[in-house]
Amino acid sequence: MNDIFKGPVYDFLVNKSINNKGDWGGNGGTLDASTPQNLENSKKGNTFMREFLQSISPKNIIETGTNYGSFSFTCYETLSDFNLYTCDNYDSDGSGCPSEECIDFINNHYNDNKVKYYNKTSWDFLDEIKKLNIKFDLAWLDSDHQYRFLKQELDTVSTMGVEYIMVDDFWYERDIQMAVFDFLKENKEYRFHSFSNIREEIGSITILQKTGKNQSLHYESDSER
């Protein structure tokens, strides 16, 4: 795979992140080079993501949590034929929308319009794209990391029959872990597919797969430990 940690799009997204938030942490993880360790973890996480994308070649993709467009960039550099519907939520306060600027830059760089950006909360966004009646192959969930947000996103994309669901930051966010575990307990047709197992803040991606088969999941509660 080609190295996406350089070039005009990478430079633009980095500069936009720094200008707006003052640190690399706002760049969504997969392009983090604030320290040598974070860069190494970002490369591992991005390689895991790109190898998975190549293996399933998704046509229609959902993303919650656009941020600075690192996933959009990754899709362009990895897939030849895709449509990505992505959202983030910025108040209209006259300061502009970094997500929209980044998506416009990325689409223009590739002279295409494969990424469709929505300035909406994830709940409103998912409700809207459900009405498009598109068969989505993959959902990448990386918005608000609170339990209630992720759980509702998981529940909604499952009703849309999305075959694969990728969730970011699984290793170090307990709310994310509990949302995923509770989702799997309630949705027997989904199972764990794979996990990047990078035990740092960068790159801890878990992937769920819809199998169409009823299956059970058990995990220990706090009282059982």
Q: Which pLDDT score, from 0 to 100, does residue 29 have?
A: 54
Q: Which pLDDT score, from 0 to 100, does residue 203 have?
A: 59
pTM score, two decimals?
0.88
Per the listing, tokens 């006259």 go with 94
How many H-runs (helices) and E-runs (strands) does the chain carry?
A: 7, 7
Q: Which pLDDT score, from 0 to 100, does residue 77 have?
A: 97
CB-CB contact of 61 with 75 (8 Å): yes
Q: Which pLDDT score, from 0 to 100, does residue 188 have?
A: 93
The whole-number mean pLDDT for each consecutive block of 10 residues of the chain, a chain of 225 residues, reads: 90 77 50 75 88 97 92 96 93 66 96 96 94 96 91 96 94 91 96 83 83 62 45
